[in-house]
Amino acid sequence: MVKKNILDFAEMKRKREKVTWITAYDFPTASLVEQAGMDMILVGDSVGMVVYGYPGTIPVTMDQMIYHTEAVRRGAPNTFVIGDMPFLSYQKSVEDAITNAGRFYKEAGADAIKLEGGKRVIPQIQGIVNSGMVVVGHIGLTPQSSAQLGGFKAQGNTAEQAMTLLEDAKAIEAAGGSLLLVEGVPPETGKIITEALSIPVYGIGAGPYCDGQVLIVSDMLGIFEIFTPKFVKKYANLADVMRQAFREYVREVREGKFPTPAHCYKMRAGEKEKLEEMLKEIL
């Protein structure tokens, strides 16, 4: 499988071919995602909620993001990997933004970085792009500013808000953003943004008209049970599968049914008898 790049994604938009991506945070998941032929992987700061159990994404650090991105890169060497810039890794200054975006490239082998926000992060987007990196914008429901949004709430559901998001989207495109993610908006809003931009626009909870879709892996596999956003489709219920496996293991160990000889290493020929002789001498 050949790794796709931003030219491929632009071409896919022209041909109206949908792009598929998903989040991943570790080596085995990334490897399975690559085997399934996914176009790209986002190492999202959602790791804070679905892996670390934080109530939101705010506590996530750059170091955590780098560890997870490195693991994903190793698991999916031929898939386009996006590193997600965590809270306060880019908001304070353009210099911070370039330095931290660069860490995803230099330390973790990412192919692009994603950051949240519209017009207010344009200088950061320009700085990162001028440094030779690929930027994915993220507008709509932006979890890092959920306190300002009044929680994890749908956005762009009035004509005025939709127009504001469209302005943000156009500003990101003009600043050099190569791809755009729109989260938590009605399909009408997702559609006007997708049609107005020449760069690919992808959706999570933004309806069917976007150029592609992303989901959070733990949501779509049914592992994360704290809450499930309306836009999630569960393609599996791994929580039930895992609970069942854990219960069976506990029962079998307690009942002496595991391990069996099939799970045990063998002594070398003649060594068992030798060991018994040696033990006789000391016991």
Contacts with ligand KIV by CB under 6 A lie at 23, 42, 44-46, 84, 138, 183, 204, 214, 216
Marked catalytic residue, from 70, 116, 173, 183:
183
Asked if the peptide bond before residue 259 counts as cis, ω within 30 degrees of 0, the response is yes
| Vertex 69 angle, CA 227 and 44, to 5° | 30
Residue 23 or residue 192: which is nearer to ligand KIV going by CB? Answer: 23
Please return the burial class of 114, using the count of CB atoms within 10 Å of its CB with bins 0-12, 13-18 and 19+.
buried
> Both tokens of residue 17?
């071919």
How many residues are listed for the chain in this entry? 283
Least Å distance, CB 147 to ligand KIV, is 16
Nearest approach, Cβ of 278 to ligand KIV (angstroms)?
58
For ligand KIV, the closer CB: 231 or 253: 231
Around 231, how many Cα atoms within 13 Å sit in the side-chain half-sphere? 20
Nearer to ligand KIV, 56 or 258 (CB): 56
Label residue 60 exposed, middle or buried (CB < 10 Å: 0-12, 13-18, 19+). Answer: buried
* Closest among 77, 74, 134 to 102, alpha carbons compared: 134
- In the complex, what is the shortest distance from the CB of residue 245 to ligand KIV, in angstroms, rounded to a whole number? 26
> Could you give the residue ranges of the DSSP H alpha helices within 186-270?
187-196, 217-220, 238-254
The least CB distance from residue 86 to ligand KIV, in Å, is 9
Closer by beta carbon to ligand KIV, 238 or else 258:
238
Please identify the residue of the shown chain whose CB is closest to the bound ligand KIV: 44
Q: Is 116 a catalytic residue?
A: no
| Catalytic machinery residues | 183
